[in-house]
Amino acid sequence: MTTGYAAVDAKAPLGLFNFERRALLPNDVSIEILYCGVCHSDIHQVRNEWGGSVYPIVPGHEIVGRVTAVGSAVKKYKPGQLAGVGCMVDSCRHCSECEDGLEQFCAHTVFTYNSPDKHTGKVTYGGYSEQIVVDQDFVLRISEKMAAPEKLAAVAPLLCAGITTYSPLRHWNIGKGDVVGIVGLGGLGHMGLKWAHAFGAKTVLFTTSPDKAADAMRMGADEVVISKDAEAMKKNAKRFDFIINTVAVAHDLNPYLTALKRDGVLCMVGVPDSPHPPVDTANLIFQRRSLAGSLIGGIKETQEMLDFAAEHNIVCDIEMIAIQEIENSYQRMLKSDVKYRFVIDMSTLKA
């Protein structure tokens, strides 16, 4: 029996829930979960804001822990090793997306929670729990350099917030000479700042929270623009090569489009529960700008990102919580009061 935290419907607070993980298949790895990050996607899905939530729902897809057992065919992992699990636990393995290492775009991606488990026919349960069983091909290696508890906890949000901002910056070849904007300083946004800075770009934060400016500069921003200040936004017109927008609610995208240079790209990663107000296509046409989107990142690239983070000593800025504080952390995230990712210390499940 595995203990976790689940919501039983879209309005219920999360609480204790016991369930069975599948018995180890030959390619499976069993992981004791030590820390799990709290993503805004957890809130969207717990509250059924995207539709399709299956209850009880056990959220959590920023998982780090140690391997406790492996199936008979597992070669990549041994008991005792550090391991990570992100947003996906399986895919079809043979479509063109899977062959290109972009399993997140497969028509049959199995997400870490709230997704049909192809082996059991039941729904997957995520990382707000004491252990998880995952096919070895969807388990990530974590350097022993990251093993200290406070460091390991700060690695956990790399598994979603980290890869979701790393992947578009790599895909659009962002680096030295580029001017990059990051919209929103939350879990995704703060990692966007760190990567863009590490890749050598001039990095600017767009925020609704002036009190986050000092932290943003410490994380690698060269400048901070208050997005509610229309004059400040106008001053930034035609300046940016690339902007990542991480905001979790619907808002006007046009001020960010006009902030792009000719041929600039606004890449959306935030997934609000309702559509954004209309985009004025003249803002695209007259400067050949693009409006794009990006979804997490494939397994190969997630490993590359974790290795890059270990090499450059990049981790997330976190606030550790006990699992009993989860509702309060959701409330704070909804008020943009997040610094800059909540991570659950899973030992508190036993408290």
> What is the contact surface with ligand NAP in residues (CB under 6 A)?
39-41, 44, 160-161, 164, 184-189, 207-209, 212, 246-249, 251, 269-272, 294-296, 333, 336, 338
Residue position matching structure tokens 């690239």:
301
Residue 112 contacts Zn ion per CB under 5 A: no
Nearest-angstrom CA–CA distance, 285 and 257: 11
Alpha-carbon span 259 to 237, nearest angstrom: 4
Q: From Zn ion, ligand NAP, none, which one binds at residue 282 (CB under 5 to 8 Å depending on kind)?
A: none
> Based on CB atoms, which residue is closest to ligand NAP, 77 or 166?
166
Instruction: Please identify, among the stretches 106-114, 174-182, 191-199, 299-307, the one whose residues bind Zn ion according to the rule CB under 5 A.
Output: 106-114
Please, which residues have CB within 8 angstroms of residue 279's CB and are 6 or more apart in sequence?
253, 254, 257, 291
Pairing status of strand 110-111 against strand 88-90: antiparallel
User: CA angle 296-121-60, nearest 5°?
Assistant: 35
Q: Using the rule CB under 5 A, which residue among 45, 53, 91, 302 binds Zn ion?
A: 91
> Does the protein bind Zn ion through residue 92 (CB under 5 A)?
yes
Helix, strand or coil, per DSSP, at residue 65: strand
Torsion, CA 350, CA 133, CA 157, CA 163, rounded to 10: 180
Helix (H), strand (E) at residue 64 = strand 63-70
Indicate the Cα dihedral angle 52, 54, 58, 62, nearest 10°. -30
Nearest to 69 by CA among 21, 19, 36: 21
Listed residue (308, 293, 297, 309) closest to 100, CA to CA: 297
- Taking the complex as a whole, the smallest distance from the CB of residue 310 to ligand NAP amounts, in Å, to 21
Residue 271 partner contact from Zn ion, ligand NAP, none using kind-dependent CB cut-offs of 5 to 8 Å:
ligand NAP
The span from the CA of 175 to the CA of 169, in Å, is 8
> Closest CB to Zn ion among 7 and 224?
7
Name the one range near Zn ion by CB under 5 A: 78-86, 101-109, 320-328, 337-345.
101-109
Residue number with CB closer to Zn ion (100 or 311) = 100
Cβ nearer to Zn ion, comparing 37 with 220: 37
95 lines the binding site for Zn ion (CB under 5 A): yes
From Zn ion, ligand NAP, none, interface partner of 21 (C-beta below 5 to 8 A by class)? none
Check residue 271 for interaction with Zn ion (CB under 5 A). Answer: no
Binder of residue 98, out of Zn ion, ligand NAP, none (CB less than 5 to 8 A by kind): Zn ion
Q: Are 60 and 36 in contact (CB under 8 A)?
A: yes
CA gap 349, 345 in Å, rounded: 8
How many C-beta atoms surround the C-beta of residue 222 within 10 A? 16
Q: Does 266 bind Zn ion (CB under 5 A)?
A: no
Binding at 270: pick from Zn ion, ligand NAP, none (beta carbon under 5-8 Å per type): ligand NAP
User: Checking phi first, is residue 48 left (phi over 0); if not, alpha (psi -120 to 50) or beta?
Assistant: left
Q: State which residue, 50 or 286, has the beta carbon closest to ligand NAP.
A: 50
- Taking the least distance from each CB to Zn ion, the nearer of 70 and 306 is 306
- To ligand NAP, the closest distance from the beta carbon of 163 in angstroms equals 8
Instruction: Output the six-digit token pair for 12.
Output: 């219920």
Size of the site for Zn ion (CB under 5 A): 8
Residue 41 vs 258, nearer CB to Zn ion: 41
Query: Which residues in 289-308 contact Zn ion (CB under 5 A)?
Result: none
- The least distance separating ligand NAP from the CB of residue 3, rounded to whole angstroms, comes to 25
Which among ligand NAP, Zn ion, none contacts residue 182 (Cβ within 5 to 8 A by kind)? none
Indicate the residue among 6 and 160 with the shorter CB distance to ligand NAP.
160
Q: Which stretch binds Zn ion (CB under 5 A): 9-17, 63-71, 153-161, 235-243?
A: 153-161
Residues contacting 23, CB < 8 A, separation 6+? none
User: In the numeric block, which tokens belong to residue 241?
Assistant: 């090569």
Q: Which is nearer to ligand NAP, 123 or 253 (CB)?
A: 253
- Burial of residue 146 (number of CB atoms within 10 Å: 0-12, 13-18, 19+): buried
